[in-house]
Amino acid sequence: MAEQTFDIIVLGGGPGGYVAAIRAAQLGMKAAVVERQHLGGICLNWGCIPTKALLRTSEINHTLHHLPEFGFAPVEAHFELDKVVKRSRAVAKQLSSGVAHLLRKNKVTVVDGTGKLAGKQTLAVEKAGAPVATLKAPHIILATGARARQLPGVESDGKLIWTYKEAMIPPAMPKSLLVIGSGAIGIEFASFYLNMGAKVTVVEVLDRILPVEDEEISAFARKAFEKQGMTIHTSASVKSARKNGDSVTVVVEANRKSQEITVDRVISAVGIVGNTENIGLEGTGVKVDRTHVVIDEYCRTGEPGVYAIGDLAGPPWLAHKASHEGVICVEKIAGLNDVHPMDVLNIPGCTYCRPQVASVGLTEARAKAAGHEVKVGRFPFIGNGKAIAMGEPEGLVKTVFDATTGELLGAHMIGAEVTEMIQGFTIARTLEATEAELMHTVFPHPTISEAMHESVLDAYQRAIHF
């Protein structure tokens, strides 16, 4: 068993971990990544990337069934599920190999195995129960991520009740499906299966779907999904699930009334649990709160020399947040003078359903609750030439400004390609732009992004095209 010394060790090779290691190498540190399974983590291998490959297929499937609207003769559109899944897995494999290349290029040492804190500045690594190496460094970053939370009474079995992982590699297309939870993961899978022809029901315990989004966007999304044929139950909870051979009967309770819904498969998407077990936190100053490691603004834990980033360190549970945390953490360790703490209100959130949803900053309700007097602008896609030409007239851009200062407090969008467009508002918030800069910005024509401009103008009664 080898003993090796580094400047920095990262436990976990996901979007937070591998980015942290590469940034450390760029800054002249000798860095190592310990990964037990797949470089790229859950996001790249079983989350963000392969789901987008699946969702792209479902978008194509939807388009093929609406060819006459674009002047084409109708065709008998059908898909081969095994090839759909194979493409998704190939995309994930390609990018995981790309991460390995990037780490080699930056001379980051990759250790294959399971790591565990083993005393001051020490990480012990084992593989299949056998010791592999003892690694030492004055700085150890924990980036072990998270896993799907299990709902009591409706635990996943990999066959009839799925987590995101099984939902990504279905052996056969279910004719009917019930999704528990309407956050980004739940809604993306609901949208995928719906657009691939399944009958989909969504059950959400809160009073609206996509509950972290602005209320208007949530309402717009629900209307759009129901128009597509999705059944949605809000203020509802799943009490139990009974397996019947090749189907599941779920008991759903809402307004003190229960009903049974029988479907081929169930997807449980009710949140995540941080991977804090078996990484040597016992006897350290690392504090865990509701399965997530507590950190300060520079990702430092209560144990000197130990840091935590990404899903392990709490919300928002987004890959780009993990990557940025990794950079902040490493640059602070390196002593850079211009390191800024993470501002979670400047982290955009994207949901890749149909229609897409994207947002950054405060919702209208949260802005008012924070004491702001607000000006709100809205612009519908039906007033945008490019959206109509694309056959995507269903959408809305909403902007929220402080009425006194003109600060852009939040931006919320639903519609085609809004996950690409949200970065414009994210940059505006980072630059602390006001309505004046946004109004004076020239948006190209014809683009859907013009709806962003019009929404800003509308907040100040200056909209041109609506």
pLDDT, tens only, 78-131: 999 999 999 999 999 999 999 999 999 999 999 999 999 999 999 999 999 999
- In the predicted model, what is the mean pLDDT of residues 389-401? 97
Q: Over the chain, what is the mean pLDDT?
A: 96
Domains in the chain: boundaries: 2-148+273-333, 161-270, 355-459
Predicted local confidence at residue 314, as pLDDT:
85
Predicted local confidence at residue 1, as pLDDT:
57
Please determine, for residue 153, whether its predicted confidence score (pLDDT) is greater than 80: yes
- In the predicted model, what is the mean pLDDT of residues 354-366? 98
pTM: 0.95
Share of the chain above pLDDT 70, in %: 100
Q: What's the fold here for domain 355-459? A: Enolase-like; domain 1 (3.30.390)
- Residue 380: closest CA among 421, 408, 349, 415: 415
Please determine, for residue 446, whether its predicted confidence score (pLDDT) is greater than 60: yes
CA 86, 89, 91, 97 torsion: positive or negative?
negative
Judge: domain 2-148+273-333, CATH 3.50.50.60.
yes
Predicted local confidence at residue 2, as pLDDT:
66
Q: Please list, in sequence order, all residues whose beta carbon lies within 8 angstroms of the beta carbon of residue 390, skipping any fewer than 6 positions away.
A: 416, 448
Q: Where are the alpha helices (DSSP H) in 196-318?
A: 215-228
d(CA 211, CA 234): 10
Cα-Cα-Cα-Cα torsion 439, 440, 444, 448, nearest 10 degrees, comes to -10
Predicted local confidence at residue 149, as pLDDT:
94
Mapped onto helix, strand or coil, the DSSP state of residue 59 is helix
Q: Which residues are catalytic?
A: 445
Reading the block at residue 342, the tokens are 């993470």
Q: Which pLDDT tens digit goes with each residue over 161-179? A: 999 999 999 999 999 999 9
Q: Which has the minimum average pLDDT: 14-23, 71-80, 102-111?
A: 71-80
- In the predicted model, what is the mean pLDDT of residues 301-329? 96
Q: Which has the minimum average pLDDT: 43-52, 247-256, 306-315?
A: 43-52
Q: What's the fold here for domain 161-270? A: FAD/NAD(P)-binding domain (3.50.50)
Please determine, for residue 255, whether its predicted confidence score (pLDDT) is greater than 90: no
- In the predicted model, what is the mean pLDDT of residues 52-75? 95
Predicted local confidence at residue 43, as pLDDT:
84
Domains 2-148+273-333 and 161-270 alike in fold: yes
Measured CA distances, 351 to 91, 187, 191, 362, 384 (Å) = 19, 8, 10, 17, 22
Contact call for residues 9 and 32 (beta carbons, < 8 A): yes
Peptide bond before residue 170 is cis, with ω within 30 degrees of 0: no
Predicted local confidence at residue 324, as pLDDT:
97
Predicted local confidence at residue 68, as pLDDT:
95
d(CA 433, CA 425): 9
Contact call for residues 129 and 152 (beta carbons, < 8 A): no
Predicted local confidence at residue 322, as pLDDT:
97
Reading the block at residue 163, the tokens are 């987590």
Predicted local confidence at residue 3, as pLDDT:
79
